[in-house]
Amino acid sequence: MVEAMIYDVSVTVLTTNTEDDPAIEDVKLTHGVIHRVEVEFPAGQIGLIHVAINHMGHQVWPSNPAGSFASDDHVVAFDDYYPLLFAPYRFKIYAWTDGTTYDHTVKVRFGLLPESIAKKRFGTISAEDSARMRADLFGALTEA
């Protein structure tokens, strides 16, 4: 039985990838619950490489739409509970530079658990919260 899946994605950011013309990596996951996200910035990027992660046309991480992760020789890592219970299970990673001299590669990792394991590990949500989340999700889809 598969208990946990880790998806590891490399995104190469060219010196020409700006915020208006970012590198875009399409990531296909599967049904389950994202419980961990990591964005690894190797040394030498001096905080000039930015990453934002979107799902269904909306920025998910970082949560503020105008925000991005940027660092140097650091892994931005956090736990989350992001259910992927309805297709599409696709994310887009947007990455750009504020003016680097060289191309750089960042790594993005998604920790994904099957829904049944996530429920045992983290508990379950109420039927009301589930209905609210589905309504928010479908509302976002119709607005997009």
- Per-residue pLDDT of 69-105, as tens digits, reads 999 999 999 999 899 988 889 999 999 999 999 999 9
Q: Which of 1, 90, 10, 11 is nearest to 54 (CA)?
A: 90
Q: What does the pLDDT look like over 105-144, one tens digit per residue?
A: 999 999 999 887 777 777 766 667 766 766 665 565 555 4
- pLDDT confidence bin for 41, thresholds 50/70/90: very high
In this prediction, residue 125 carries a pLDDT of: 64
User: Could you tell me the pTM of the whole model?
Assistant: 0.84
In this prediction, residue 127 carries a pLDDT of: 61
Q: Which of 110, 89, 108 is nearest to 12 (CA)?
A: 108
31/114 Cα distance (integer angstroms): 7
Assigned CATH for 5-143: 2.60.120.380
